[in-house]
Chains A and B, each alone.
Chain A
């Protein structure tokens, strides 16, 4: 189904789904966009956000269907309910966009992020870092006598929490992938 074919009540991600009144409350939403994988398609999506002044808190993109030439873009954005509805409607207008889903509004979903963190230190701090990594189920993917690189997957909050703990223990560099997300259930 094209993202533009919106019937009332047929989906929760249509322009009809607005709250009764325009509200000032800022909400964080995870939006997943299926796009035709062609040159410039990411620029169209990002250009929409910058051109209309919307926020991007996190963005991931990769091809998910090689034969169908489809990529999935997962965007975490913040805005008032009206802005969130506008973002979805504006995304739906892009000719290369096949489908737009607001995972936050459409029931429960799974959100995961992968992070690599380099922690340098010796002695007690080094031991403590390793102990905490074990608690968070982070894996050591590189090690020297004075440093580790931990690999950690989980919800963004879990990664934030781990980074906070590592900071006093010698956190020197962080790389995060941004959120990948899917709706729970069979479809």
Chain B
């Protein structure tokens, strides 16, 4: 059956056929025909954001919390350029999203028309792939292909730029193909020979460690299940990057906590001292490795990644396996079981005794206070009071983000949304909106710093309009906390522009938006205030006034290896010097 329709109708039809139920967007001249089609249907819900950056981050939050592809719709020119930060964020964190952008009509492209920008040119380096559709006959197949590219292989953002005349013109609709077409078909099965070698290494290792990343989450719930089975059956300790939290439960008995620059002491020392490192879906990011030439010097390194370019990019892999995490883990388990479920019990027992010793350092300890709310205490209470709830956590970027990763426990994948690779301040508020849209009955908390939060605070309007009860939990130290910490560590406590002198009254701000505002500054009131936030049926801005000059520890100073961590009692002033000072 062939169906003629306009390009605008094709967009909506293709989204429906791809199972899309929600689009985050902002209208404008070059997308009016698509908005007119959205108006005339009820299958796809449109969430009107307040800024296009918010639309893309909301789509990211939606994608990360559901595992589905997130969709954003923006207009030409400024609409598309405002989407660039979100696209780059999604590229760095491998989040599958589709941005549909309007474009000036084809006959005006190149004439510097009103609200014209070279959108495919601007977004080429910040998308996995992008398309400018010049003929309505190709539009629906391009959108179907866009979904395939965004979600297969290493996921990522794609953009489809649609000129206005293409939206008005009619052509035949191409239905969603039953099987993916085209030449883009990434390899998912790992090489069996290398997998067998890895299992053999795992059986003999005295000090093995699993180092897992966002690739496990991206691979889907089956990957997390298989990972749990493998870890618990072998008894090998596991640590994870910021992106991979929740793949293995924080309450699991083999869990070491997060690793990396602000990771846990025991996790980093296990990485440094291991004899077999099994990297599953992580990419040896510089926040993880610290100094490369002193990174885990005695270990054999296995690297499982769906993206061949991740392997040997930073750290040489002794056992490289290109494939999808779930497929490779399934094969690993099969081979390990068939070979008799062997591990080096004696070595492992000794290894765990060593790890227990490291745990005694209690690296997350901090000086408690009875008069001031310590940010760590605020998160400990948030964790205690929300544990076991159907809970999703988003964050902004900075000290609060690292404290959230350290002090909150994640039991399941897709429950933790944070900007890892790009480190985008302003990510959390719109992301929390995307998560809440996907999970209307869940508790969605955005752990924020006041500076990050102000970057996309306009999205509170979206939360109020669509009755999204997102909780904005702001740890307010009236500082750009992480910048201030680095100025203390690196620049002789000269706090150049790292404080805010004219912060809004967040309670009044909440009321101005039509939300609820809660102010808390006394540790004794904190529990009641958090419960009030949780129990309020609607969006809340929680202004939690915390210790202003608290430092986030432990910390691997830049330019140092894992075994040179700064702990909480370290002398902070000018602790980073020499070569490390040029690193970020």
Within 8 A of B (CB), among A1-34: 2, 4-8, 14-16, 18, 21-22
Residue contact A6 to B316, C-beta cutoff 8 Å = no
Evaluate whether A89 and B124 lie within 8 angstroms (CB atoms) in the complex, with A6-B187, A95-B184 already known: no
User: Would you call A44 an interface residue if the criterion is a C-beta within 8 Å of the partner chain's C-beta atoms?
Assistant: yes
Residue A86 interfacial (CB < 8 Å): yes
Whose C-beta in chain A lies nearest to the C-beta of B185?
Answer: A2
Contact of B40 with A by CB under 8 A: no
- B274 contacts across to A, CB distance below 8 A: none
Give the shortest distance, in Å, between B120 (CB) and chain A (any CB): 6
Q: Which of A2, A14, A39, A89 contacts B183 (CB 8 A)?
A: A2
How distant is the Cα of A21 from the Cα of B219 in the complex, in angstroms? 31
Give the chain A neighbours of B121 by CB distance below 8 A: 40, 43
Do the beta carbons of A14 and B308 come within 8 Å of each other?
A: yes
**B309 touching A92, Cβ below 8 Å:** yes
CA distance A21 to B311 in the complex (A): 14
Are A51 and B125 in contact (CB-based, < 8 A)? yes
Q: Is the CB of B191 within 8 A of A98?
A: no
The answer on a CB contact under 8 Å between A15 and B311 is yes
Looking at the complex, which one of A21, A39, A98 makes contact with B316 (CB distance below 8 Å)?
A21
Task: Say whether B560 faces chain A, with CB atoms less than 8 Å apart.
Answer: no
What is the distance, in angstroms, from B102's C-beta to the closest C-beta of chain A? Answer: 19
B386 at the A interface (CB under 8 A):
no
**CB <8 Å contact, B309 and A89:** yes
Q: Which of A15, A47, A95, A96 contacts B308 (CB 8 A)?
A: A15
Contact B185 A15 (CB under 8 A): no
Q: Which of A40, A86, A93 has the most CB of B within 10 A?
A: A93
A122 contacts B by Cβ under 8 Å: no
B144-188, CB < 8 A from A: 149, 153-154, 183-187
Report the bound CA distance from A98 to B184 in whole Å.
8
A82 at the interface (CB under 8 A from B): yes
Interface Cβ pair total, 8 Å cutoff: 67
How many B residues touch A, CB cutoff 8 Å? 27
Q: Kindly state whether residue A58 has any CB partner on chain B within 8 Å.
A: no
Q: With a CB–CB cut-off of 8 A, which chain B residues contact A22?
A: 316
Q: B129 at the A/B interface (Cβ < 8 Å)?
A: yes
Inter-chain contacts of B149 with A (CB < 8 A): 95
Whether A6 contacts B124 by the Cβ 8 Å rule is: no
Does B4 sit at the interface, judged by CB under 8 A?
A: no
* B residues less than 8 Å from A14 (CB atoms): 308
**Across the interface, which residues of A come within 8 angstroms of B132, CB to CB?**
39-40
Cβ-based interface call for B79 (8 A): no
* A8 B120 Cβ-Cβ under 8 A: no
CA distance A4 to B186 in the complex (A): 6
Does A143 count as interface, using CB distance less than 8 angstroms? no
* Contacts A5-B185, A21-B316, A22-B316 given; does A15 touch B124 at CB 8 Å: no
In Å, the complex CA distance between A43 and B320 comes to 31
Once A40-B120, A93-B307, A95-B129 are accepted as A-B contacts, the answer to whether A15 and B312 lie under 8 Å apart by CB is yes
Residue of B nearest to A89 (CB): B309
| CB contact under 8 A between A98 and B309, given known A6-B322, A15-B322 | no
A22, closest chain B residue (CB): B316
* Complexed CA–CA distance, A161 and B309 (Å): 38
29 contacts between A and B (CB under 8 A): A2-B185, A2-B186, A4-B153, A4-B184, A4-B308, A5-B187, A6-B322, A7-B191, A8-B191, A8-B194, A14-B308, A15-B308, A15-B311, A15-B322, A36-B183, A39-B132, A40-B121, A40-B132, A43-B124, A47-B124, A86-B309, A86-B312, A89-B309, A89-B311, A92-B309, A93-B308, A95-B128, A95-B129, A96-B129
Taking A5-B187, A89-B311 as known contacts, 15 extra A-B pairs with beta carbons closer than 8 A to each other, sorted by chain A number, are: A2-B184, A2-B186, A4-B153, A6-B187, A6-B308, A6-B322, A8-B194, A16-B320, A36-B183, A82-B312, A86-B309, A86-B312, A89-B308, A89-B313, A90-B309
State the B residues within 8 Å of A (CB): 120-121, 124-125, 128-129, 132, 149, 153-154, 183-187, 191, 193-194, 307-309, 311-313, 316, 320, 322
Q: List the 6 closest A-B pairs by CB distance, nearest first.
A: A89-B309, A95-B129, A15-B308, A8-B191, A15-B311, A5-B187
